[in-house]
Amino acid sequence: MEILILVISAFITSAISAVIGMGGGIILLGIMAIVLPDGYLVIALHGIIQLISNSTRTFIFKNHIKKELIKQFSFGALFGAILSGLIIFLLINFYEVQSAKDIKFDFLKPLIGLFIIWYLFFKKNNKEIISKSFVKVGVISGLASVFIGATGPLIAPFFLKSKLTKQNIIANKAACQMVTHCTKIPLFMFFFDVNYFNEYKLLIPLMFSVLIGTKFGKYLLAMIPEKLFKKIFKLTLFIIAIKLIISI
C-alpha cells in the first residue's frame, strides 16, 4: 500500500512539475516524509526520483535549453556541493557522530521560505546577464540540496526574473536541478551511508511513474497561455514559501 501511494504521488507530482516547473518535487518530498521513517533517507531517495523526473523534462524540452545558462549553473553547483561536503564533515566532527544521518537540518526550511518571499516581492530588479547571474544560483543550489532536499523553490525566483518563456523555464530549471541531484548523490553515499541498490524495490516503480507523469504534464503545459503560466508559477512559489516558513 505504501509503494502504491508513492507511485501515484510520483505520477501526479511529476506532471505538476512538467506543467508549472516546480511544486511537484516538494510535494513528493512531503509525502515521502510521511510514508518513510528516516528523514535523511527521504531526501536521499527523493534525489534519485527527482533526478529521473528532471532528466525526463530536460530531454522532452531539450530544444528550449540555454546552454550557457546550464554551463554557468553547473560550475556553481559543483562548487556548492564541495562546500556542502566540507560543512557536513565539520558538523560530523563538531557533534561527534558517526554519520551525518544523525544531524537534523530542519531549521533551514523557514529561512528558505523567507528568502523566496524577499526575492519575489522586495528585491530590486537588475539587468544582470543570465550567463553571469546563474553561477551564484548554482552555488546556492549545490550548497542547499543536501540539507533541504527539494531546491526547486529556492532557485525558481531566478528563472522567473530572467525573461524566459514558459518552455525555457521548464527546460532550464529541470536541467539545473538534474545537475544538482547528480552532485548530491555521492555525498549521501559517502557521508550518510546510503546504499541506493538496497532500495531498488521502491525506486524502480517510482522512476517509471515520474517518466509517465512528466510526459502527461507536457501535454497540459501546451494548453496554458504564457501570462497565465507566469502567474501560476509565482503563486505556487509564494504558497510553497509560506509552507516552508511555518514548517517548524
DSSP state of 198: G
Q: How far apart are CA 165 and CA 159, in angstroms?
A: 10
Reading the block at residue 149, the C-alpha cell is 532536499
Mean per-residue pLDDT, 25-46: 80
DSSP 70-127: HHHHHHHHHHHHHHHHHHHHHHHHHHT-SSGGG---TTHHHHHHHHHHHHHHTSPP--
Cα 1 to Cα 6, 11, 80, 205: the distances in Å are 9, 16, 38, 13
Instruction: Decide if pLDDT at 128 tops 60.
Output: no
Burial class from Cβ neighbours inside 10 Å (0-12, 13-18, 19+) for residue 124 reads: exposed
Per DSSP, the three-state class of 32 is helix
Mean per-residue pLDDT, 79-96: 92
pLDDT of residue 27: 80
pLDDT for 158-214, tens place per residue? 887 667 888 999 999 999 999 999 999 999 999 988 999 999 999 999 999 999 999
pLDDT for 198-228, tens place per residue? 999 999 999 999 999 998 998 888 888 888 8
Q: How far apart are CA 193 and CA 126, in angstroms?
A: 43
